[in-house]
Every structure is written in structure tokens, then in C-alpha cells.
Amino acid sequence: MGQILQFGINGLMSGAIYALIAVGIVSVFKATKVVNFAHGYLIMFGAYFYFTFAVLLPGMSWAPAWYVSWEPAWLVEMKEGLPMFSPLGAVLDWLTNLPRVIIGLIGALAANAVVGLIIERVLMRPLMGQSVFAMIMVTVGLISVMSGGAQLIWTADANYVPSLAPNTPIRFTLFDTQIFLFGTDLVNAVIAVLLFGAIVAMVQFTKGGVAIRATAEDQSTAYSMGISVPRVFARAWVLASLTGAIAGAILATRNGVSPSLGLFGFSVLAIVLMGGLDSYVGVFIAALVVGVLEAMTQWKFGGDWAGIVPYVAVLLVILVRPHGLFGQKEVERI
């Protein structure tokens, strides 16, 4: 029972990260009907931008001292005499890196939004009115371009970045079972869930969200109602880029920064197909289910088997429901 609870909670936290990644794919699809195969590499760019602003720039000779390491007198005094592996020490060490974390996130958000906007303006907008297949193939081509570009700019070596939250160990008892978590994993999962909920609320209750939904239903009608469809497309790509930057920073703190981060997009694309390309609720449920299944598979069979779980799960689902668990079934009239 103890192992099931431990791995189940770990799986739910991983599923929350998957849901944050998936929300970018769903947002672009809802607005443009384009499946963005390159979303994983947009996340990879977000991770590299976080690495640039949180690690590379503080290492420059011109970087101010507070940017490199923030250590006011009261923080130094609190560190003195603390035992090794102290939870308070972990929090204080994280505070030392706080300026780098904040500037890293702001820089990653801004830079990744610009990348998303460039992709939409330069590559996707000229194809408006053409077949959706042509736009999808552009995203497939972007995979090679972005992967190669990242290796040219930042090299292919794996690098590590400061975590978004203190990595303090958390222990508690649940159903007479001792559960052990890391603080940074818990905070990352909470951030992912809150951002996911905020985006869904924005799409449901704001004018911009109504424009996205109207454009997804019928672009011609949306045009006639005064909605700027190109602007909606741009908003969807920027939204995907912003969530990709946060997801990239989270993944970077867990796995390091390397071009292999882009491969996460394919696993999450399987999750999106499983939940339904146009359903936020379906994707969230599918992400949590896959996260738990991966954790249980890793526990019983090892990490090599866990990697195939999203693909097996989506195959089983689409055999029964080709449009996903909660996806809208499209009816074509001839």
C-alpha cells in the first residue's frame, strides 16, 4: 500500500506537468485546427532561454553581484551554524538564487513569446487559407530547424539550472503510510495546475477566449462578426509559447537542459490525442492517468518500460473512441 501511494502521488505530480505542456498544443489546435508537432521543441527553447537568463548571463563579467548571488547580511547570518541537509538551509540556498530564478523566468517568457510570434507571422500566417496539412507539415519541419538551431546556439551538452522552489524534503503520513516528496516537485505541480486552470478560465470567460472558440468553430463566420482571425492565431501561438517557457523551465530543473527535452512533445502529443485534441478537461484527465500509469510501470517494470506508456494508452483509447476520451466528434456533411 505504501509503495502504491508513493508512486501514485509522484505520478499525479508528473501528470500535472504533462497537462501544462499539453495545454499549448490544445490552444493552438482550438484556434487554428493545426496539430503542432514542434511544441516539444518550443518547450526546449523555453528551457534554454531560462538557462541563458538564469545561468549564462549571471556568469558574465559585467553581471552585478546581486544577480550572481544574492546574499544580504541577514541571510548570511541565518546560514551560519546550520547542519548539513537542513530544510532551512535548502530554503536559504534557494533564496540566494532568487534573482536568477525571477529574471530567468521573465526572460524565458519574453524570449519564447517572441519565438512563437515569429513562427506564426513568418511561417503560419502566409499559409492561411491553404490546407491544414500544409501547416502541419511546416510544424514537422520546424522540429529539425529548432533542434539544430539549439545545438548551434547553446551546444548539445546537458546543463543544470536553479530550481523554481526550495528543494526541501517533505515527509508526511497518509493512511498510515510514510510519504516522501521533494518540495520543488510539489511546487512545480501546483504551478502547473494553477496555470492550466487559469488558461481554461481565460478561454471560457474572457473576450479573447470567446474569439478563440468562435474562430475554432468557423473562421468565415468569425471574420464576419468582426473577429480578427490572424490576431487570434497569433494569440494562440503566443499562449503556447508562454506555457512552453514555464514547462521548459520546470523540466530543466528536473532533467537538465539538452536538445532531448524536445522529445517530451511526442509523449504529450499522445496524451492530447488520448484526451481529445479540442478538450482541455479530457487532456487534463488523460495527463493525470498517464502520469500515474507511468509511475506504476516504472515501479513494477523499470524506467525503460515507462516510456511507452503514453503510446500504448492512446492506442487503446483511439481504438474505442477515435476522437479521444472527451474530444468533439466531427461530422462531415457531403
The CA distance from 42 to 37, in Å, is 10
Domain of 118, in residue numbers: 2-320
Domain assignment present for residue 43? The answer is yes
Instruction: Tell me, yes or no, whether 327 lies in a domain.
Output: no
Q: How many helices (H) and strands (E) does the chain have?
A: 15, 2
Q: Can you give the pLDDT at residue 1?
A: 63
287 pLDDT higher than 60: yes
**Helix axes 2-32 and 229-255, enclosed angle (nearest 10):** 150
Whether residue 170 is contained in a domain is answered as yes
- What percentage of the chain carries pLDDT values higher than 90? 37
Is the pLDDT at 323 greater than 60, yes or no? yes
Domain count along the chain: 1
pLDDT value of residue 178 = 82
For residues 13 and 333, the model is more confident at: 13
- What is the average pLDDT value for the chain, to the nearest integer? 87
- Quick check: is 326 in a domain? no
Is residue 78 in a domain?
yes
pLDDT average, residue stretch 292-305: 85
More confident residue, 171 or 119: 119
CATH number of the domain where residue 192 is located: 1.10.3470
Model-wide pTM > 0.75:
yes
- pLDDT tens by residue, 242-279: 999 999 999 998 888 888 888 888 889 999 999 988 88
Asked whether residue 325 is domain-assigned, the answer is: no
Give the model's pLDDT for residue 330.
60
List, for residues 138-161, the tens digit of each pLDDT value.
Answer: 999 999 999 889 888 887 777 888
Q: What is the mean pLDDT of residues 61-75?
A: 87
Confidence label for 78 from pLDDT (cuts 50, 70 and 90): confident
- Which distant-in-sequence residues (6+ apart) come within 8 Å of 146 by Cβ? 38, 41, 42, 44, 45, 262
At residue 76, the pLDDT reads 82
Instruction: Please tell me whether residue 209 adopts helix, strand or coil conformation.
Output: helix
Q: What local confidence, expressed as pLDDT, does residue 92 receive?
A: 85
Q: Are 165 and 254 in contact (CB under 8 A)?
A: no
Q: Is residue 136 part of a domain?
A: yes
Which percentage of the chain shows pLDDT scores above 70?
A: 97
Q: Say if 333 falls within a structural domain.
A: no
203-244 tens-digit pLDDT: 888 888 788 878 877 777 777 777 888 888 899 999 999 999
CA torsion through residues 195, 198, 204, 208, sign = negative
What's the whole-number mean pLDDT along residues 316-322?
88
